[in-house]
Amino acid sequence: MQTGGPFFLWRHLNKLRWAFLSIVFAMLVALPFLHLYQTYVSAHAYDLLAESEQRLYDVVETLTDPFVDDPVEDLDAIKGNTWSGTFWGLQLSDPLAAAGQSAAGRTLYWPFLLTALIPVVLSMVFGRFYCGWVCPATFLYELNSNFAGWLRWAGLKPGNRTFDKRLKYGVLVLGLVLSAASGSILVATIYPPAIIGREIYYAVALGGFGGGAVFFIGTLLFDLMVARRGFCRYLCPGGALYSLLGRYRVVRIRRIVETCNDCAKCNAICEFGLDPLRDGFGQECNNCTACMAICPTAALTFTLRITDYPEQGPGHLGRQYRREYAQQDMEAAE
Amino acid sequence: MSEGNGTEKILLPVPQDHSPSMRRRTFVQALALAAASAATPEAGRAARNGSGLRYLRPPGALPEEDFLQLCIHCGQCGEVCPNRTIKYFSTENGYASIDTPYIIPREKGCILCMKCGDVCPTGAIQFIEYEVEAILDEVDMGTAWVDEQLCLSFQGKTCGVCYRACPLQDVAIKVGRLEQPHVTDECVGCGLCERSCIQMPQAIRIIPNRG
């Protein structure tokens, strides 16, 4: 690996990641429709449905009929969203849900905490991977980020401020404290993936978006006008928790200094404003692999370490290194 | 209105004494209540829950305070509800119950399928077996109450719709002369009677029991 460069598929992981994000988001959109279909089936009144409802019934029936015998029972296999969901009996929950609920109840309710175990373990191995690979809000935030790119191309200036990344840990602590004080998991009301899961359901099945959608649009505008990916970088309480869990993550991205040419495209592409060029990943990196995908010299690869490489200096294919190297050569010749 | 028309028993008692001292006392009491609710979260919650909304929690839900502590607002109970009975609060019931599930029985009654307790990941809605005995024992969303002034059967026009809507006929509701409904202690408060009542406003309504 050291000499032969990174495994050739690594630079295509970013596409796989987009596939994951799209699947998760598509699932969150599809589930409420499946639910509506189930309610139509269990009502046993096809003829009384409105025309649009009949159309939905027909479409979903065509799609699901090969897989289920009894839609009312069998389609219950997948329920919920990324905040907390049931997949064929396996319940998975967001670690923030577990933390927030423990704070709100001021007790540890193990049957629920265990549902967050798998995400917690994965986070300790892969770091903040949830933010890059699963989060339905990331799907929209990255599209929003691309939109900002178009705006820049069109001559408008999207916001590009920076704040202290530690702000979000304050939000996490404050959210948990307020949850504990109010006895209700208030942190869920400002956590975008939880909001999106709920709001899509509200919109499709209950006839309209709720207040959370307004908040989420606010965060999109914040990202657009104030700071690129600002909410995820500086404010998201879940991102803070995942970052803490991933502080000593095992799977990290590493720069191969021998093939790096200091082009700094990795720093430009990084959604979280990290510094791959100077080996600065830290606990914020979500292993999204965008930097790997854009690197023109394939100078980024995975490594198994619990800390980042110390700064390795300028890339060996870069101008700065060559200048210094030539100088050293001359000094050696003298 | 003539005496004995019965409406006074559903009205809240109105203070009759409007002398300044009385008003001052109620003002002081209100201040004390506000101070108490600010000082202790429990009291504050109790005060906030007096939003005046008559809503039920899903069947098997823990008492209100425990429920709010356990519920993570994931929305699975609503997503699994085959009757689309369960809705979610915005801010109308206070910030503590934002995005929590509720049932307005006049809009949709609970069909007691017990799926919401099955899917709830946190036990905020307890799992209850889908069996008559278990439901009768453990579900207590509220109790139906008949307004005899509004009820057609009590006004001499045989109706009996609520009795026929009841999933626990002859256990939760019994009918007497002219199909006059009599709610028993076994009523679990599913709200199907209130949903089906043909009177407007409804003559039978669920008095919520949120613990």
Q: Which residues of A touch B40 (CB under 8 A)?
A: none
For B72, the closest of A72, A183, A188 (CB atoms) is A188
Domain assignment present for B23: no
Task: Centre a 10 Å sphere on the Cβ of residue B42 and count the other Cβ atoms it contains.
Answer: 12
Average pLDDT over residues A304-323: 86
Give mean pLDDT, residues B98-121: 93
Strands B101-102 and A90-93: unpaired
CA torsion sign, B194 to B196 to B201 to B202? negative
Query: CA A257, A259, A265, A266: dihedral to nearest 10 degrees?
Result: -50
Q: Are A104 and A179 in contact (CB under 8 A)?
A: yes
- Per CB-CB distance under 8 Å, the chain A contacts of B39 are none
Query: Would you tell me how many other CB atoms lie within 10 Å of the CB of residue B141?
Result: 24
Q: Residue B32: what pLDDT?
A: 56
Q: Is residue B31 pLDDT above 60, yes or no?
A: no
For residue B193, which of B206, B180, B182, B184 has the smallest C-alpha distance?
B206
Q: What is the ipTM of this complex?
A: 0.85
Residue type, A315: G
- Of A303, A327, A312, A324, give the one whose Cα is nearest residue A260: A312
Q: Which residues of B touch A (CB under 8 A)?
A: 41-42, 45, 65-66, 68-76, 78-84, 87-88, 90-91, 95-100, 115, 119, 121-123
Domain that holds residue B125: 54-208
Compute the distance between CA of residue B84 and CA of residue B82 in angstroms, rounded to an integer.
Answer: 6
Amino acid, single-letter form, for residue A180: A
Distance from CA of B24 to the nearest CA of A (A): 31
| Whole-number Å distance between alpha carbons of B59 and B110 | 8
Contact list in B for residue A184 (CB cut-off 8 A) is: 68-69, 71, 95-98, 100
Half-sphere exposure of B165 (CA within 13 A, CB side): 23
- The string of DSSP codes covering A112-132 is HHGGGHHHHHHHHHHSSHHHH
DSSP state of B151: -
Q: Contacts of residue A100 in chain B, CB cutoff 8 Å? A: 72
Question: What's the whole-number mean pLDDT along residues A249-264?
Answer: 91
- The whole-number pLDDT of residue B30 equals 57
Q: Which residue has the higher pLDDT, A1 or A265?
A: A265
Q: Return residues 62-121 of A near B (CB < 8 Å).
A: 72, 76, 79-81, 83-86, 91, 93, 97, 100-101, 104-106, 109, 111-112, 115
Query: What 3-state DSSP class applies to B173?
Result: strand
| pLDDT surpassing 70 at residue B41 | no
> Under an 8 A CB cutoff, do A81 and B121 touch?
no
pLDDT value of position B29: 58
In this complex, the residue of B68, B79, B91 whose CB is nearest that of residue A79 is B79
B72/A83 Cβ within 8 A: yes
Cβ-based neighbour number of residue A271 at 10 Å: 19
Average pLDDT along chain A: 90
Q: What is the DSSP string of B63-130?
A: PHHHHHHH-----HHHHH-TT---EE--STT-GGGTT-EEB-TTT-------HHHHH-SSSSB----S
What residues of chain A, 130 to 169, have a C-beta less than 8 Å from chain B?
A: none
Residue B140 to residue B209: CA distance in whole angstroms: 7
State the Cα–Cα distance between residues B5 and B10, nearest whole angstrom. Answer: 11
**Chain A residue with minimum CA distance to B44:** A182
- Between A91, A101, A206, which is nearest B87 by CB? A206
What sign does the dihedral B54-B58-B63-B69 (CA atoms) show? negative
**Chain B partners within 8 Å of A43 (Cβ):** 83
| Main-chain phi, psi angles of A303, to 5 degrees | -145, 155
Name every chain A residue with its beta carbon within 8 A of the beta carbon of B84: 39, 205-206
Paired residues of A301 in beta bridges: A254
Could you tell me if residue B103 is inside a domain?
A: yes
The CA-atom distances, in angstroms, between B169 and each of B55, B136, B175, B182, B195 are 23, 12, 9, 11, 16
Residue B97: pLDDT band with limits 50, 70, 90: confident
In a domain, B31, yes or no: no
Cα(B98)–Cα(A77) distance, integer angstroms: 27
Rounded mean pLDDT, A23-48? 93
What is the reported pLDDT for B52? 76
Q: Which of A191-205, A292-306, B23-37, B41-55 has the lowest mean pLDDT?
A: B23-37
Would you say residue A307 has pLDDT above 70? Answer: yes
Name the class of domain A251-319. alpha beta
CB contact under 8 A, A83 and B74: yes
Give the mean pLDDT of chain B.
Answer: 81
Nearest Cα of chain B lies from the Cα of A250 at a distance, in angstroms, of 30
Residues ≥6 apart with Cβ < 8 Å to A203 = A32, A209, A213
The token duo for B2 is 């003539």
Q: What is the pTM of this model?
A: 0.84
Q: What angle do CA B110, B91, B77 make, to 5 degrees?
A: 30
Residues 6+ apart with CB under 8 A from A279: A254, A255, A308, A309, A310, A311, A312
Task: Reply yes or no on whether the pLDDT at A176 is more than 60.
Answer: yes
CA distance B146 to chain A (A): 28
Instruction: Kindly list the domain boundaries of chain A, sorted by start residue.
Output: 11-243, 251-319
Give the residue from A31, A185, A202 with the most B CB atoms within 10 Å of its CB, the best one to mutate: A185
Beta bridge partners of A275: A280
Q: How many domains does chain B have?
A: 1
CA distance A212 to chain B (A): 9
Could you give the CA distance from residue A230 to residue A271 in angstroms, rounded to a whole number?
A: 10
Q: What is the pLDDT of residues A206-238, one digit of tens each?
A: 888 888 999 999 999 999 999 999 999 999 999
B15: left (phi over 0), alpha (psi -120 to 50) or beta: beta
The upper half-sphere exposure of residue B40, i.e. CA atoms within 13 Å in the direction of its Cβ, equals: 7
